[in-house]
Structure 1
Amino acid sequence: MRAFVDGSSWNKVISLLQSKGLNVLAVQNPMTSLQDDIDTTTRALASLAGPTLLVGHSYGGSVISGIGAQASNAAGLVYIAAYAPEEGESVLDLNGKFPASPASAHFVPSYRDGFVWIDPPAFGANFVQDIPEIEAQGLAVAQNPTALVSFEVPAPVPAWKRLPSWYLVSKNDRTIQPEAERFMARRIGATTREIASSHASPVAHPYEVADFILHAVATVR
């Protein structure tokens, strides 16, 4: 779960997790509102049997925080350079606690009314600066625009208050300030690791991301 890229951004991580025998499902959220994304993910989670770890990247952290509080089979939350809001707090509220990220200067209206994305020419340098430019250009034009209201709505009671959590900080993040990530990780009491990655760590550093998720899986088991 994430903003601006779709579920295919997890492909490399998915293959690594499946090779370890894990059952993996990448949810394609509509990105029309936080509640719509929570509802979509709730239905996906209901299709899975047994204890399940919810993994969210970027805005996806808000989604897993909201769904986990109401899902009986949610066993833990894994945040990958993701938002972990408190009840009543929005993504914009969290961003306002820290200096603006470099990417924020490039959030522009997309081709869908009421939706935003990262200006494609600025995408590579500000979202995933540590992969080949030709690959970044492909992701830039395949972005999944996000409804601006998704960033404005107050979050529901977060699941991290009752579930164990893990947080992977991207030290070279230009989309969410790394200090904001560290702040959220501390606030939720997450088991935390840092890697030298851009914001899009599942794309740029799949082995490190998969290893972190596997660590969480082993702990839950």
Structure 2
Amino acid sequence: MEIVLVHGAGGRPTTWSAVAPLLAAQGHHVITVTNPMTSLDDDVANTLAAVEATSGPVLLAGHSYGGAVITNAGRHPRVRALVYIAAFAPEEGETVNGIVERYEPAEISRHMRRGANGDWKSEPGPDFWAEIGWDLSPEQRSIVEAEGRAAEDLIFKQATGAPAWRTLPSWYLLAEQDRTLRPEIQADMAHRMGATLERVPGSHYTTLVHPDRVAAIITAAVSAVAP
């Protein structure tokens, strides 16, 4: 089974840099997608192109906003399972903004800045790291700052189609001290889709802080659905 990994709104190549080698060492073929973040539809299309480039059954894993992408791309007939890592799992007709607006604002809202063209980008600094990513090393923080990309407003405002989690088995790894996507939002979404739920301590940077746990839940999903 081929594993396609989808990043969140930060769009950083290093999102999966600690996880992909662990999966590859177990013999899995891993594809890491870099989406344009111009709209949800564009990111789904780009992810589907990666799925189309494979030749067999596929597992999709998404971090953060990447969960909204795999919720839609998972309708591809060769996708067998979905894994959400501190990620959005919208229902049909929902948007990322619509989900977060039902809850109290997360701490990340104090660190988001809107560009002249309506795009969004986080603004790392000492206060940001103390509040949002306290569990990253200084080296990891430097990489995240250097690779940060802006995200167009449409990734947050375009509605999801029929969610693939309605028909596919799903797994969810919840970050218990997440100050970007509130843990209660994660728990509510995981419960709603009937996902196999696991929890880890720490911030929203789950793929960098707990790569072993991320790889383990992906491997468990592969084992559960592999022919």
TM over 0.5: yes
Which is worse superposed, 186-195 or 207-216? 207-216
- TM alignment of 1:202-217, pairs within 5 A: 202-217=207-222
Structure 1 stretches of at least 4 aligned residues deviating more than 4 Å after TM superposition: none
Aligned position for 2:200:
195
Q: Does the CA contact (< 8 Å) of 1:90 and 1:152 recur in 2?
A: yes
Q: In structure 1, how many angstroms separate the alpha carbons of the residues matched to 2:89 and 2:204?
A: 15
User: Which amino acid is the alignment partner of residue 110 of structure 2?
Assistant: A
TM-score of the superposed pair, with normalisation by structure 2: 0.92
Aligned position for 2:3:
none
Which of 48, 53, 58 matches 1:52? 58
Identity fraction in percent: 37
TM-score of the superposed pair, with normalisation by structure 1: 0.95
Aligned position for 1:120:
124
Aligned position for 2:19:
13
Distance 1:33 1:68, change over 3 A: same
Structure 2 SS opposite 1:146: coil
User: Which amino acid is the alignment partner of residue 41 of structure 1?
Assistant: T
Q: State the 1:127 CA deviation.
A: 4.1
Q: In structure 2, how many angstroms separate the alpha carbons of the residues matched to 1:123 and 1:201?
A: 16
User: Which amino acid is the alignment partner of residue 12 of structure 2?
Assistant: D
Aligned position for 1:67:
73
Which is worse superposed, 52-61 or 197-206? 197-206
Q: In structure 1, how many angstroms separate the alpha carbons of the residues matched to 2:140 and 2:32?
A: 21
Q: In structure 2, how many angstroms separate the alpha carbons of the residues matched to 1:100 and 1:194?
A: 22
Q: Does 1:143 align with 2:143?
A: no
5+ residue gaps in structure 2?
Answer: 1-5
Q: Does the CA contact (< 8 Å) of 2:132 and 2:180 recur in 1?
A: yes
Q: In structure 1, how many angstroms separate the alpha carbons of the residues matched to 2:27 and 2:172?
A: 23
Q: After superposition, what is the alpha-carbon deviation per residue over 1:141-180, rounded to whole angstroms, capped at 9, x for unaligned?
A: 3212111121011111110011110000000101000000
Q: In structure 1, how many angstroms separate the alpha carbons of the residues matched to 2:120 and 2:83?
A: 25
Q: In structure 1, how many angstroms separate the alpha carbons of the residues matched to 2:16 and 2:161?
A: 26
Q: In structure 2, how many angstroms separate the alpha carbons of the residues matched to 1:155 and 1:126?
A: 30
5+ residue gaps in structure 1?
Answer: none
Distance 1:5 1:138, change over 3 A: same
User: Which amino acid is the alignment partner of residue 113 of structure 2?
Assistant: V
Distance 1:211 1:61, change over 3 A: same
Q: After superposition, what is the alpha-carbon deviation per residue over 1:40-81, rounded to whole angstroms, capped at 9, x for unaligned?
A: 000000011211110000000000001112x11100110000
Q: Does the CA contact (< 8 Å) of 2:207 and 2:214 recur in 1?
A: yes
Distance 1:43 1:107, change over 3 A: same
